[in-house]
Amino acid sequence: MNATIPPDGIKQGIRSFSRLFNPSGVVIHSSGMVYIASFSCHWVNKWTPNATNRTLITGSPTGNLASDSQSLALDEPNFFLYVADRYDHPTQRFALGSPVGITVAGNNTQRFAANQLHFPSDIYL
């Protein structure tokens, strides 16, 4: 595959289904699907090979405040996508194909306790 995802590239200040705005995390599935977190749009999108538009995985379709996705990790054998939400503080797990996330670490409260997260910015599996 030799294509640009998204086809219109990165455009500052424009939130659209065919463009990226401040991408902050990328993972690639072995089937060629590309998952991209957009920090400023508060969403995670899936791009299938040769697609001209994305599929919303999580967040607001209009790019309004929902989550501040920063980093992604793909657990391909178990069909999960993990999303670190930097400013809301949890890390969530999404079953591939499902828009419903389950919080697996932290919650929506910034804390310094051992069972909390403080601005999570990366995930490694």
Summarised one tens digit per residue, pLDDT across range 39-89 is: 777 788 888 888 777 888 877 666 655 556 678 999 999 999 998 877 667
In a domain, 78, yes or no: yes
State how many domains the chain has: 1
> Which single residue is written with the structure tokens 């797990």?
93
User: Whole domain around residue 53: which residue ranges?
Assistant: 23-105
Burial (CB count <10 Å: 0-12, 13-18, 19+), residue 116: middle
> Which single residue is written with the structure tokens 């310094």?
112
In a domain, 7, yes or no: no
CATH number, residue 61: 2.40.10.500
Summarised one tens digit per residue, pLDDT across range 1-50 is: 445 555 555 555 556 666 677 778 899 999 999 998 887 777 888 888 88
Of the candidates 86, 61, 82, which has an alpha carbon nearest to the alpha carbon of residue 73? Answer: 82
> 32 near 41, Cβ under 8 Å?
no
